[in-house]
Amino acid sequence: MANYRLMVNGKEQVVESWDPNQPLLYVLRNQLGLHGAKFGCGLGQCGSCTVLIDGEAIFSCVYPVSAVVGKKITTLEGIGSAEKPHPVQAAFIAEQATQCGYCGSGMVMASVALLQEKPRPSNADVKSALAGNLCRCGSHDRVLRAVQLAAQGIPGKKGA
């Protein structure tokens, strides 16, 4: 059984995994108690499990735990809280940009990654960045508005 030293939300964590290919999602949820990233498809098809690896949005349900050693992992819990939301979370609340909310975690994380890369995205940029984040409830239009609202709130900001 191998140990993996991970940097999750700014904190070093040592996790065991008998299988180096165990996807990061299950380590986060079942071993580290971080439930922000959701299980939706298990095949990288829906985006519910999106987290940031060194600032880049990835699907954690297909990302092996052994591949994240030495990299900075950021989950929904790591960017803000209900009391002190990240600008993207605040914008999702302001636009009421989620219904059941299950895909919301992935939507927020993908939006954070986009805004770090492109602080003033066009709607086409947002649609392209969030194309892999499926939503069954139909919050899409509000998500677009929320990302634009967040973009106004974090002018030119890097590394949120």
Interface residues with another protein (CB under 8 A) are 1, 18-19, 22-23, 26, 29-31, 33-36, 38-43, 45-46, 48, 75-77, 80-82, 85, 89, 92-93, 96-105, 108, 126-128, 130-144
- Residue among 4 and 105 whose Cβ is closer to another protein: 105
CB of 28 to another protein, least distance (A): 11
CB of 5 to another protein, least distance (A): 19
Q: Which residues of 71-104 are buried (b: 16+ CB within 10 A; e: fewer)?
A: ebbbbbbbbbeeeebbbbbbbbebbebbeeebbb
Q: Helix 104-117 to helix 87-94 angle, to the nearest 10 degrees?
A: 130
* Three-state SS sequence of 22-46: CEHHHHHHHHCCCCCCCCCCCCCCC
- Residue among 82 and 156 whose Cβ is closer to another protein: 82
CB of 154 to another protein, least distance (A): 16
Give the integer Cα–Cα distance in Å for 121 and 101.
Answer: 23
- Residue among 18 and 156 whose Cβ is closer to another protein: 18
CB of 112 to another protein, least distance (A): 11
Give the integer Cα–Cα distance in Å for 139 and 153.
Answer: 21
- Residue among 54 and 141 whose Cβ is closer to another protein: 141
